[in-house]
Amino acid sequence: MGPLQHPRGGTVSEPRTGPDPANGPAASPAVAAGAPPTVLTVAGSDSGGGAGIQADLKTMLALGTHGMSVLTAVTAQNSLGVRGAWPLPPEAVVEQFRAVVDDIGVRAIKTGMLADATLVETVAGLLGTVDAPVVVDPVGVSKHGDSLLDPGALEVVRTLLLPEALVATPNLDEVAQLTGIRVEREEDMRRAADAVLALGSRWALIKGGHLRGDAVDLLTDGTTEYRLRAPRLDNRHTHGTGCTLAAALAAHLARGTDVPGAVRAAKEYVTAAIAAGFPLGGGIGPVRHGHGIPPVGGPVD
């Protein structure tokens, strides 16, 4: 595995074990020979299995990595919407994170639903103790429009969480929440990306899936710009796309791919997952995370 970029611009090379206040964040313990790259998701649970922790772990497995989780909140949701959400105590989040990182180690981290200001602050502090690339998916609302982040947490996301990110992956609604910029057309995306970069993320990936026409995402570090296009697919079953894209990006970073290459690969994966999305329940079904994995025992009738 090649060296990994991380939010402060260096690389993960010779592992250190344990925190070293004099030298900054500790690198992860070495991964055992033969073990897949380890990826950690810090996010909420989706009881319907289409988004959140469940989507992240399926994605990480599909892309050849070992997914691990820190649960931040429990939601009661299905294909029709979110019925309720309950954040976990900060101490539970800290203990999960330290249990995984201090023993197993991580090669990349993805954050998702963090629910409230206390949890955002807690997670931002934890990220600062680990020398690994971080993908921040600043989850604000669900696919159905249900709020997943307390409005009082937005300032903490801006000032503490985004500065820990190697890549931030907001959709257009989240861009508006974080920066006040409303993207109405593709030409507005660069201005939105610059506003996200100004909050501290090293790269901004602005997801333009809500615009008309092709599904266009813009990736930039402020100097280099990439536009990633995919045909808009005629499939309403897209639950979990944002979580899936960010988890796929983290998985490819953990495998040693640079940011532009990891974003391209993640975009290809999620586009294929959307194409294979399927109906489930009475509302919006999920993307198919295992679209490239043949069923064990052959096709299911």
Q: Catalytic pick from 44, 207, 220, 257? A: 207
Catalytic residue among 75, 179, 220, 241: 241
- The CA distance from 65 to 37, in Å, is 5
Active-site residue identified among 48, 50, 140, 240: 240
- 243 has catalytic annotation: yes
- The question of whether 207 is a catalytic residue gets the answer yes
Distance CA 24, CA 13 (A): 14
3-state secondary structure of 45: strand
- Report the distance separating Cα 50 and Cα 26, nearest Å: 33
| Total Cβ atoms within 10 A of residue 92 | 14
Indicate the pLDDT class of residue 28, thresholds 50, 70 and 90: low
Instruction: Kindly indicate the confidence band of residue 19, based on its pLDDT and cuts at 50, 70 and 90.
Output: very low
Per 3-state DSSP, what percentage of the chain is helix, strand, and coil (rounded to 5)? 35, 25, 45
Tokens of 36: 């897949």
pLDDT of residue 14: 30
Q: Does 232 have pLDDT greater than 70?
A: yes
pTM score of the predicted model: 0.88
- Residue 27 confidence (pLDDT) above 80: no
Selecting among 48, 50, 242, 277, the annotated active-site residue is 242
Based on the residue annotation, tell me whether 58 is a catalytic residue of this protein.
no
Fold of 38-275: UDP-N-acetylmuramoyl-L-alanine:D-glutamate ligase (3.40.1190)
The DSSP call for residue 153 is: G
240 catalytic, yes or no?
yes
Q: Which of 35-49, 85-99, 236-250 has the lowest mean pLDDT?
A: 236-250
The fraction of the chain above a pLDDT of 70, given in percent, is 86
Query: What does the block give as tokens for 178?
Result: 């974080």
Q: Which of 243, 267, 271, 277 is catalytic?
A: 243
What the block records as the tokens of 175 is 């861009």
Q: Which tokens in the block code for residue 202?
A: 């090293």
Task: Tell me which of 30-39, 82-91, 104-113 is least confident.
Answer: 30-39
Q: Can 24 be counted among the known catalytic residues?
A: no
H/E element, 103: helix 90-103
Alpha carbon distance 164, 136 (integer Å): 8
Catalytic residue status for 118 = no
65, 72, 179, 238: the catalytic one is: 238
Q: Residue 268 above 70 pLDDT? A: yes
Percent of the chain exceeding pLDDT 90 equals 68
Edge-first strand listing for the sheet containing 134-136: 81-87, 66-78, 38-46, 108-111, 134-136, 167-168, 203-207, 215-220, 225-230
